[in-house]
Amino acid sequence: MIRLRGLLLACAAAAAVGFISVLPFSAAAQGRPPGEGAGMQRRQLEQRFRERVGAVVQRRLGLDANQMSRLQTSNRQFEERRIDLLVRERETRRELRRELLAGERANQTRVGQLLDETMRFHRQRLDLAESEQRELAKFLTPVQRAKYFGLQNEIRQRAQELGKRGVRPGQKRRRAAGQNAPPGL
């Protein structure tokens, strides 16, 4: 229960500042709706946490109410695009992993295509970050943007650390069976 609560807090923190897509364990990033068992209490907890994180972001960046409102709107806009990109990238990586696990039977042509797609995702992620920075430049000062960029990285790192500590379903079985995916996938 404690691990689940920490996970929910991390998701809420990331969502509050627009980074839910970086969380590999989030239902939204995996293209599925959140579990019904979480219910009203979870939504309330997430909402309270979002409000707290929003207050921290507003204080750290020195945002006025108008800037904060625009930041939230911008985050929602870019978050949809980030989630879409993450879902497509995750499926490509899964398919690449399946091909590589096939060993000698791997389809060389398909592996090449999947690698090309992976590179396109890197470019799209960079393009998205540049678009976001152009949008933020419309209402944040360069110093605020730099602080926000640092805050984004801090939240991503914390989310990744939490994701690494948690074991996703099926992960133990694959390790026990010696069926680890190739590094980097």
Q: pLDDT at residue 145 above 60?
A: yes
Q: Domain map of the chain by residue range? A: 2-31+38-177
Q: Is 127 left (phi over 0), alpha (psi -120 to 50) or beta?
A: alpha
pLDDT digits (tens, 9 = 90+) for 51-70: 888 898 999 999 999 999 99
Q: How confident is the model at residue 153 (pLDDT cuts 50, 70, 90)?
A: confident
Which residue pairs, CB below 8 angstroms and at least 24 apart, start in 142-151?
144/61, 144/62, 144/63, 144/67, 147/60, 147/61, 148/57, 148/61, 148/71, 151/17, 151/57, 151/60, 151/61
What pTM was computed for the model?
A: 0.63
Q: What is the CA radius of gyration of the chain?
A: 19
Amino acid (1-letter code) at residue 145: R
